[in-house]
Amino acid sequence: MLKELNEKKTELKKQSEEYKTKRNELNAEASSLAAKRNELNKKTKDLINEAQDYKKLRDENNDKVQEYKTLRDEVNSKANEIFAQIDQIRNVNNLGGPSIKDIRKEIDRLEFTQQTEVLTTNKERELVNKITELQKLYVAKKEQLESNQELKDLLNEAQKVRDEASEHHKVLSEYAQQAQEYHDKMITTFKEADKVRADSDAAHKEFVKFQESADEQHKLFISAQKEIRDIDKEIRKIKKGDVDGRKEAAKADARKDAEDIFDKFKSGGKLTTENLMALQRSGFLK
């Protein structure tokens, strides 16, 4: 029985060390994954903050776009009023052909198209030629109208107003371009944050898996340790029982020897010093 218990204890110790080693390995891997997850979470937070900064800059530039768009439209409205006066005088003086306002408006439209759209070489050439023709027509019409002093004054005023509107439009376009750049950066950064967050979620999922496996190994280790302690208790009981049994057997033998010596004494035999000591040890002599 004692041999079997010792063999079982040895096996349990071996298993316990295996559980402990495996648990520590799994905990180390879980710790590494937790560190990776935390680093990715921090990176995600930083990217989101960066994207929010881009969003703020985009919105600020869009506000400027709206501000200069309002200024441009107000100035253009003023220019249209002046061109309306010019058209009225032109009609009164029987100056035919397209109005200088319409010519100017068409030139502005075509120039805007040239600046903002991607065109083929042929389309670009056609557009440039058309703008050149309209500019010549605009100059000729302007010269025609400038022969009239009142028209000349209005044309000069209209040109100044148009130039002011063009400046507002130029600034507007710059802010619009910056707003688009910040918008693109914001979208790119948010997408990167989503990707990093997905990596973080995957790392957390792996962390949980390794942590649960480590916990399971720890439970097995604790269970094996408890079983070892139970076996140790059982071994101690058995060993204690063997000692007590040997003591009782020794006492019984001493008692029997004492009885034999005493019977010898009662029969008239002589007792030696050793016999007396044996009787004393056995309890016959008190």
In the numeric block, the tokens 């994954």 are attached to: 33
Q: Is 187 exposed, middle or buried (0-12, 13-18, 19+ CB in 10 A)?
A: middle
pLDDT of residue 242: 58
Q: Exposure of 26 by Cβ count < 10 A (0-12 exposed, 13-18 middle, 19+ buried)?
A: buried
Q: List the chain pLDDT tens, one digit each, 286 residues.
A: 778 888 888 898 899 999 999 999 999 999 999 999 999 999 999 999 999 999 999 999 999 999 999 999 999 899 888 888 877 877 766 565 677 778 888 888 888 888 778 888 888 888 899 989 988 888 877 777 666 677 778 888 888 998 899 899 899 989 999 999 999 999 999 999 999 999 999 999 999 999 999 999 999 999 998 998 888 888 888 877 655 555 655 665 566 566 556 555 555 556 566 766 666 666 655 5
| pLDDT value of position 240 | 76
Distance (Å, rounded) from C-alpha 242 to C-alpha 175? 98
Task: Supply the pLDDT for residue 89.
Answer: 76
Query: Could you give the CA distance from residue 89 to residue 73 in angstroms, rounded to a whole number?
Result: 24
| Residues contacting 151, CB < 8 A, separation 6+ | 86, 89, 90, 93, 145
Q: What type of residue sits at position 193?
A: A
Q: Residues 79, 165: contact at Cβ < 8 Å?
A: yes
d(CA 224, CA 218): 10
Q: What is the pTM of this model?
A: 0.57
**pLDDT given for residue 286 in this prediction:** 54
How far is 286 from 248, CA to CA, in rounded Å? Answer: 20
